[in-house]
Amino acid sequence: MEHTLADITVLAHDEAVQLDADQLGLLYGQLGEDQADTVICRALEELANRLSTIERAYYQDDRPALAKAARGLIGVADQVGMPGLATIASSVGGLAHGQDDPALAAALARLVRLGDRSLAAIWEVQDLGGAI
């Protein structure tokens, strides 16, 4: 059986970033603009580092390190109002302990995609001076 390009299904990965405006507002309300910006900058750096660690651990097949980095990402994502990212990180962490390699690969790809988008979105919020 011969296949053509018309037989190929392309999946569109267009998941919206979820930013919890209440959490961000709480940060800015409690800390003030300058301190909140500092907290968010540090959180963004930590998110980027943890995403990198998660990918590296996955490709090195280091499941314990993968699970640990995913757990750490959950706390940071929650701190800066990224509940969707925290949920996916939780899934990755759980899958790291199992044997479902295709599910782990899919969840990891989703985490990286949404992580990149989330970092960009929170930078946009910060560029607006915390306006949400």
27-78: pLDDT as tens digits: 889 999 889 888 888 988 999 999 999 999 999 999 999 999 999 999 999 9
Whether residue 125 contacts residue 131, with contact meaning beta carbons closer than 8 Å, is answered with: yes
Mean pLDDT of 4-28: 69
Residue 132 has pLDDT above 50, yes or no: no
What's the sign of the alpha-carbon dihedral 28, 41, 17, 100?
Answer: negative
- Give the per-residue pLDDT at 23: 85
Among 7-11, 104-108, 119-123, the range scoring the smallest mean pLDDT is: 7-11
How far are the Cα atoms of 17, 24, 28, 83, 95 from residue 14, in angstroms, in the given order?
Answer: 9, 23, 29, 17, 23
Q: How confident is the model at residue 104 (pLDDT cuts 50, 70, 90)?
A: very high
Find where tokens 């759980």 sit: 94
How many whole angstroms separate alpha carbon 51 and alpha carbon 47?
A: 6
Across the chain, mean pLDDT equals 85
